[in-house]
Each structure stands twice: as C-alpha cells, then as structure tokens.
A and B are shown apart, each in its own frame.
Chain A
Amino acid sequence: MMRTLRDLWLFFQRDLRIAGTYRSPFVLEAIEALFGVAMFYYVARFVDSPELRQALPQGSTYFAYSLVGFVFFDYLNAALDSFDRSLLEARDTGTLEPLLVTQVSLPLILAGSAVYPFAATTLRIVVYLGWGAALFHFPLGSANWIGVIAVLFATLLAFSGLGILSAAYLLLFKRGNPAKWFLLGISSVVGGMLFPISILPDWLQFIARINPVTYALEAMRAVLLGGASLLVIGRPLLVLLVFAAILLPVSMAAFAWALRRTKTTGTLTHS
C-alpha cells in the first residue's frame, strides 16, 4: 500500500515538474477562469427572475447554479480524459516502453499519471469558485466542505471506471474516447449542467435519472450551495458508489484484456 502511494506520488512529482517548466499557463488559466465566471454572472443577471429562482433546487441563484454545473463538468472531463490522455502521451513521446519495463504495472502507471490532472482540475475549480466568491457574491459561506470532498471522491471513483474503459478502447483502437463523447455529450443535455432536469420532457428525465452525472451534480449543489449534510445526500452518494462498484472491476478487467491483446498483436506502442 505504501509502495503504491509512493509510486503515485512519483508520477505526481514528475507531472508537477513538467508543468513547472511551462509557467505562463498557470497565470493564463487564472485569467481565463475570471472571464468564465464573469460570463456566467452576466448571463445569470440577464435571465434571472423570481420564477427561475423558484424552479431551481436549493433556492439558489442561477449564477451559483450554473457555475457549479460548469466547473463540475470540468471535473468529469478530467475523470474521463486523464487515463487515455496519459496513455496517449506516453505512447507518442516513446516513454511508454521504458515505463513498461520498470517494476510498476501499467494500471498503476495510468493511475499515477491521472493524479496530477485531478489535482490541477481541483485547483482550477477552487480558482473559479474563488473568483465567484470574491467578485460576484458566489455563496461559499454555507458550503459543507466535508460533503464536497465526499462527493468529489465518489464522483472520481464512479467516473474513473469510464476513464479506464476509455483507455482500454484507446489501447485497442488507437484513437478516440467514446466514454467522453457519449457521457459528456448526453450529460450536457440531460445531466442538469445549466438547467434543472425538471424542465425536460418525461422521457429525457428518465434518461437523466439513469445518468450518474445527474446524481453527482445534484449532490454537489446540495453540499456546496445548500450546505446539506451527508445524510441528506445519502441517496445520490450511494448511486455514485454503486456505479463505481460496478464500473471499476469491469473496466479493470477490460483494460487487462486489452493490454494482453495488444501484447499479443504487437500493437501496444503503435499509434
């Protein structure tokens, strides 16, 4: 266990060092976050009305509602993208082969390579919410921070399974990320990102109810905007953990099969 954590830390250090050689993106991303938050603030001022506020869960403002949806989607994106992007980078830079002859397994290499993107995305979320709170009255004061961490962790587990499936697909077919395309595409309409799912027709609401993104966003808004306790978000949290319990073993088995297959066909390092 300690060795695994130490190996994960090594990958984080590696990526942090590499990121540190490009200094300007940190500043540019902070500025980009400011523009993003400002855009949501003024869109919200334009569309906000007492009727809309009534339709929103937790009685929040549209600005707070949409900003949480937007930044949380960034997190989902990282969960779905990090594994296959790290594989793609290792393959294209020629580091995959030297990594594979070290004493660290490929699943650990992928997990390690995902640590920094998750940390960076978490930091980006903090910057977005920080700008929102500092300049546009985003209500951070009522948040249940333990709940926020619990929801992030459950979401990470639930969506990492899809990310690993995506990496397995990339091993076999060399290009494309169907999990990201499917889940983010569907969820932008039926995940409750920018509007509540209650305004959708019944059949789309049904799809939304079997989509884990809906539960993740519901729980995140409840703890961040409403300060809900873990007991209150128990149901969406449980749904996310069930998704994780099914998807993680399935995705690991699929990845192991894909790895074995590419070592058989000799296409492991092919692009």
Chain B
Amino acid sequence: MALQATRAAAKTACSRLSNCSRQVIKSSVSTPAIVIDSLEKWFPPAYSGWRAFLQPFAAPTSSALRGISLEVAEGEAVALLGANGAGKTTLLRVLATLLLPTRGRAQIAGHDTVSDPAAVRRQLGHHAGRDLGFYSRLTGRQNLRFFGRLNHLSDAIIEERTRALGERFQLGEALDRQTRSLSSGTIQRLSLLRALLHQPRVLLLDEPTRSLDAIAASEFRRFLKTEVLAGHGTSVLFASHSLPEIELLADRVAILQEGALIAFDTVAGLKAKAGASSLEQVFFRLTGRPVPPDVEARPA
C-alpha cells in the first residue's frame, strides 16, 4: 500500500517536472532492483552491569526505521540524506542482510533479505564506509583475492579486475603493500574496489567518499556515474552528507528523519516541493529546521 503511494507520488512528481530524468521514468515501469516496503527496525536498549546478561533477550524499545517504503530501479542511483542517527546506515545494513527488520520487507533483485539472504548477497556489493575490514598483515592484492574468491570469482578474473579498477582508483603500488601500512583514504579506495570486484547488480555505499581526497573523490564519482551506473546498469543506493555529490550522482534523493522517510524525489522535485533553490535549503526546510541566513542567501 505504502509502496504504491510512493510510486504514485514519484509518477506525479515526474509528470509535473519537465526535467525529470530518464531513469526515474524507468523506475516506475521496470522491475525494481531494490524494493523496501513498510520497513521498520527497532533496537533494544543497551544494558550494562549484571543486566548485560539479559541483553540478548531484551525487548526492542527504540525505533531506528519507521515504515520506510521506496524502490530503486535498475541502473538508478538513489541517495540517502539525513542527519546523524536518521537511519541511513541501519537501512543499508538491513539491505546487506547484516540486520533483520522488525517489520516490513526488503528485496534485492527480487530476493527477500530475510528468507533468501544468500541469493541477496550474490547480487550485492557493500561498502561500509569504515577504515577497517582488511587483514592488516596481508597485502591489498591478497585481501582482494581472498574476498573475491569467497564471492566465487576465478583468480584470473580477480587479477584482471583488480588491475583495471586499481588503475582507476590510483591504487598502484598500494596493492602490493600490507594494508596496515596504508592510509585511511587508500583503505577506503580498496574497500570500494572490493565492493565492485564481483560486478554486483546492486551497490550499497555508506559515505563512499568520506576519507578520500578531493581528486580521488572526484575520480570515483565520475567512475560511478559513467561506468557503474551508465555502463553496467548497476543500481546504487548510497548514504552521503555531501550535497554536491548527491546532486551529481543521484537520480532521486530519499530524505530520512528520525527513521522516517519524509521525502523521496528527484533533486528538482524536492526543490520544487520545498520552494528552495538549493539542496541545502531543501534539507533544512523539509526537516523542519530554520534555514540559516547564509544558506538562504546563497545562490543555487
């Protein structure tokens, strides 16, 4: 029900706006790569002391996601925008099968994340946005080979893709150094490479350019737009606090506030809805915050 309403809202927005992108129109008619329907996630409180023994059995009391419904079409990029604690990472973790939803359902390429997590993981590339996640005594290349083979890629394919993507991400010699000696930005690039290695149909990225320098971030965005989205037709759901990045990459933007989806539209659609000239103004207005004067005065 909620899903149909979202779909209808997207169609209305598209018909109203002349610059609605091709992908958005496609999203309302083709098979969605990601379907999220009335998704809720509740967490139990964190116990300490002797009560920590009861932690595994504690009842969930605080909501992290509240009835989220949205779809991402094949080849579409959707950005998750929200303040810290809005539920962006929780949503990505539910889709990555690392968390079980409390209510509602989520599907990746037609596979349910709860009843068929193995099939979901076959379609999925996940970048958690952290500086950890590699074996520090192994080289970047050895790490990638290990994770690539766990995704059932042959050594030849892993080697070929590592070389090609390594060049794109300017990893160069870093691939043959132990990961303990790499900077956090290089680890991030390695993690993005790992997420892309098996050419997944759906890519979940949590703050993909957070630790990257300006050049690497720009190069990654260009790669994502031209090769991953346009070239391979991969669907991308990414969380980001960088508004220019969202404007550049996202076909649509989902704005989350305290676990609820408060808006889901194209950047142009959101601007029209909020009567704003920039995405920054949109964010302030739709989340009910007063727009600071400098943001109000800033030209689009």
Residue positions of A touching B, CB distance < 8 A? 3, 7, 10, 13-14, 17-18, 21-22, 93-95, 97-105, 172-173, 258, 260-269
B-side interface residues, number (CB < 8 Å)? 41
9 pairs, A vs B, C-beta closer than 8 Å: A101-B96, A101-B121, A103-B122, A173-B55, A258-B56, A263-B98, A265-B56, A267-B55, A268-B99
B236 to chain A, nearest CB (A): 16
Contact of B128 among A10, A98, A105, A266 (CB under 8 A): A98
Q: When the two chains form their complex, are residues B99 and A266 in contact, meaning their CB atoms are under 8 A apart?
A: yes
**18 extra A-B contacts, CB within 8 A, seeds A18-B138, A93-B136, A268-B98:** A3-B152, A7-B150, A17-B138, A17-B142, A21-B138, A95-B133, A95-B135, A98-B133, A101-B124, A103-B118, A105-B118, A173-B56, A263-B98, A265-B60, A266-B41, A266-B64, A267-B55, A268-B99
Q: Which residues of A contact B53 (CB under 8 A)?
A: 173
Asked if B110 is at the interface (CB within 8 A of a chain A CB), the reply is: no
Q: Which residues of B contact A265 (CB under 8 A)?
A: 43-44, 55-56, 58, 60
Encode contact with A along B107-144: 1 for CB under 8 Å, 0 otherwise: 00000000000100110101010101111111000100
Q: Which residues of B contact A21 (CB under 8 A)?
A: 137-138, 178
Q: When chains A and B are docked, how far (Å) is the Cα of A132 from the Cα of B177?
A: 41
**With A21-B178, A98-B133, A265-B55 in contact, is A10–B150 under 8 Å at CB?**
yes
Q: When the two chains form their complex, are residues B126 and A101 in contact, meaning their CB atoms are under 8 A apart?
A: yes
Question: Nearest A residue to B126 by beta-carbon distance?
Answer: A101
- Main secondary structure, interface of A, reads helix
Q: When chains A and B are docked, how far (Å) is the Cα of A10 from the Cα of B53?
A: 36
B229 to chain A, nearest CB (A): 21
Q: Which residues of B contact A261 (CB under 8 A)?
A: 56
Contact of A262 among B56, B133, B146 (CB under 8 A): B56
Question: Nearest B residue to A172 by beta-carbon distance?
Answer: B56
Q: When chains A and B are docked, how far (Å) is the Cα of A267 from the Cα of B99?
A: 9
Q: When chains A and B are docked, how far (Å) is the Cα of A104 from the Cα of B90?
A: 22
Q: Which residues of B contact A268 (CB under 8 A)?
A: 98-99
Q: Which residues of A contact B44 (CB under 8 A)?
A: 265
Q: Which residues of A contact B135 (CB under 8 A)?
A: 14, 18, 93, 95
Q: When the two chains form their complex, are residues A94 and B122 in contact, meaning their CB atoms are under 8 A apart?
A: no
Q: When the two chains form their complex, are residues A104 and B150 in contact, meaning their CB atoms are under 8 A apart?
A: yes
Question: Nearest A residue to B124 by beta-carbon distance?
Answer: A101
Q: Which of B228-281 contact A (CB under 8 A)?
A: none
